[in-house]
């Protein structure tokens, strides 16, 4: 069974998806980490960002492994390295070209094959798993997302204004919404969860409730019907 959780940057998808997966005993896949990993790999090799052919070639050869919540590129665990602002600001070079998305999409489908999994990203319910059993689109206003991010960073001792966060977040939202393939949008059959004014616990509770409903409905649909003679 596949559950997709899509939404914009800073909507809290990763922590919710991880939590939902834990509660249901499903696996969890962070697809943003895959785009981040190939971006980091390109930075290490010094491939020019506008050399699309070489970027595609690199993405083709890259061995991405997602295991126990860690991401490996060619056997190297780069789970921390991929979270830098430098990686974030260059992801579009790998996330925009349709040919690269094709390869990463194929890897995501391969990882999900035969598994009960919660996958999280931008295009999971639209492009990658259009037949997913349950689709959630988790969102909040840009201001709310920026305020939450600021609080998270402050807890780690990083001081940055809401305006600064908002500016880079708006830029990412724009890039994510404009790409020709795999752009950020809710699937027509996704349940949209608007989380402004909700606490993290309330969001978790609501998403879990919706997913449980979906999983039950899906199990009921696939159960063999009674045969009466």
Binding mask 192-221 for ligand C5P (x = CB under 6 A): ------------------------------
Q: Which is nearer to ligand C5P, 122 or 133 (CB)?
A: 122
Tell whether residue 9 is among the known ligand binding residues: yes
Q: For residue 221, which of 124, 137, 116, 134 has the smallest C-alpha distance? A: 134
- Of the candidate spans 15-23, 27-35, 161-169, 212-220, the one that interacts with ligand C5P by CB under 6 A turns out to be 27-35
Establish whether 112 is an annotated binding residue.
no
Q: Which of 123, 132, 134, 165 binds ligand C5P (CB under 6 A)?
A: 123
Q: How far is the CB of 36 from ligand C5P (least distance, A)?
A: 6
Pick the closer one to ligand C5P by CB: 144 or 212: 144
Q: Are 142 and 169 in contact (CB under 8 A)?
A: yes
DSSP labels, 57-90: HHHHH--EEEETTEEEETTEE-TTGGGSHHHHHH
> How many CB atoms are closer than 10 A to CB 136?
30
**Quick one: DSSP state of residue 135?**
E
Closer by beta carbon to ligand C5P, 142 or else 229: 142
18 binds ligand C5P (CB under 6 A): no
**Would you say 32 or 41 has its CB closer to ligand C5P?**
32
Helix axis angle, 52-61 to 31-45, nearest 10°: 120
Residue pair 7/137 in contact (Cβ under 8 Å)? The answer is yes
Interface with ligand C5P, residue 35, by CB under 6 A: yes
31 interacts with ligand C5P by CB under 6 A: yes
Asked if 136 interacts with ligand C5P (CB under 6 A), we say no
Q: Which helix (H) or strand (E) holds 178?
A: helix 162-178
Interaction between residue 97 and ligand C5P (CB under 6 A): no
What is the smallest separation between the CB atom of 221 and ligand C5P, expressed in angstroms?
A: 27
- Other Cβ atoms within 10 Å of 30 Cβ, number: 22
Which tokens belong to 133? Answer: 């059993």
Encoded one letter per residue, x for contact with ligand C5P by CB under 6 A and - for no contact, window 147-176 reads: -------------------------x---x
Contact 214, 222 (CB under 8 A): no
Classify residue 104 as exposed, middle or buried by CB count within 10 Å of its CB (0-12, 13-18, 19+).
buried
15 marked as part of a ligand binding site: yes
Residues annotated as binding site for ATP?
7-15
User: What does the binding site for ligand C5P look like in residue numbers (CB under 6 A)?
Assistant: 9, 31-32, 35-36, 91, 95, 121-124, 172, 176, 182
């Amino acid at each position: 069974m596949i559950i997709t959780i899509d939404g914009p940057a800073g909507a809290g998808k990763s922590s919710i998806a991880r939590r939902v997966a834990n509660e249901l005993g499903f696996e969890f896949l962070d697809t943003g980490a895959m785009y981040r990993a190939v971006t980091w790999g390109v930075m290490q090799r010094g491939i020019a960002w506008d050399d699309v052919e070489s970027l595609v070639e690199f993405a083709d050869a890259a061995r991405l492994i997602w295991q126990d919540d860690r991401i490996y590129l060619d056997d190297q665990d780069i789970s921390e390295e991929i979270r830098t602002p430098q990686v974030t600001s260059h992801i579009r070079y790998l996330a925009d070209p349709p040919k690269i998305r094709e390869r990463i999409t194929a890897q995501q489908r391969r990882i999900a094959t035969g598994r009960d999994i919660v996958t999280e990203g931008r295009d999971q319910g639209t492009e990658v798993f259009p037949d997913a059993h349950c689709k959630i689109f988790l969102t909040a206003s840009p201001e709310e997302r920026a305020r939450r991010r600021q609080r998270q960073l402050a807890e780690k001792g990083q001081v940055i204004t809401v305006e600064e966060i908002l500016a880079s977040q708006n830029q990412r939202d724009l890039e994510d919404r404009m790409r020709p393939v795999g752009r950020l949008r809710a699937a027509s059959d996704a349940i949209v969860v608007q989380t402004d004014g909700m606490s993290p616990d309330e969001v978790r509770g609501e998403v879990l409730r919706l997913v449980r409903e979906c999983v039950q409905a899906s199990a009921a649909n696939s159960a063999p019907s009674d045969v009466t003679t």
